[in-house]
Amino acid sequence: MRFDDQRQRMIEAQIMARGITDELVIKAFQRVKRECFVSEEWKNYAYKDHPMTIGHGQTISQPYIVALMMSLLKLTPDDKVLEIGTGSGYQTALLAEVVSEVYTIERIDTLMTQAKAVLKKNEYKNIYFKIGDGTLGWVNAIPQIDEFDKIIVSAGSPKAPENLIKQLKELGLMIIPQGDMQVQDLIIYEKKQGEVITRSEGRCVFVPLIGDGGWKE
């Protein structure tokens, strides 16, 4: 079966059938070729319903989980989004299809180099990259930006890093897997009149968020 056909079947069976109705998210999944973001040996499994290793103890997330997190963030074309954990760049590309600008941070330089190459090959021009501790957020980086409409964290943390909460705009949303190293809950953070409101959106399993505001190496 061709990748285009596999992609459409994945969208219908893994995403839409599970209740994801956000048209912007669905269209992004239709446009982004997941097979481009995995190694040659894994390409035939690119549209299976599970995460896949990308090396360095990291994974490319299950498509449904990525779609769910994006949908819960209520993304709009005007949003500026901070992504913690570039990984393979697959989620980065999906975000870039929907929002105005994506600011993405990866602590493993080899993964960032690979992701950056794929994203540039696919001619994304609204993505800004930083190598470093994602728990610190977009500090000492170019272009300079202090606050984001949305923040998406692609690794599990014992708590929400304070620096990320500070960088969330008023009425902004952040989604982060929060819990222990084995299992987490997807937690939504929302800023309203200076207060932070949280709610849980169910269980999940992610690799650990390493950094000053997460787990220590």
The residues annotated with a catalytic role in the active site are 61
DSSP H helical ranges for the chain? 3-10, 23-31, 63-72, 90-98, 109-121, 162-166
User: 161 burial class (0-12, 13-18, 19+ CB within 10 angstroms)?
Assistant: buried
Q: Would you state the structure tokens that stand for residue 80, as one six-digit string? A: 């500026």
* Nearest of 81, 95, 35, 82 to residue 60 by alpha carbon: 35
Element of type H or E holding 121: helix 109-121
Alpha-carbon separation of residue 20 from 28, 54, 163, 195 (angstroms): 13, 26, 30, 29
Q: Give the Cα separation of 4 and 49 in Å (integer).
A: 16
To which residue do tokens 């912007």 refer? Answer: 24
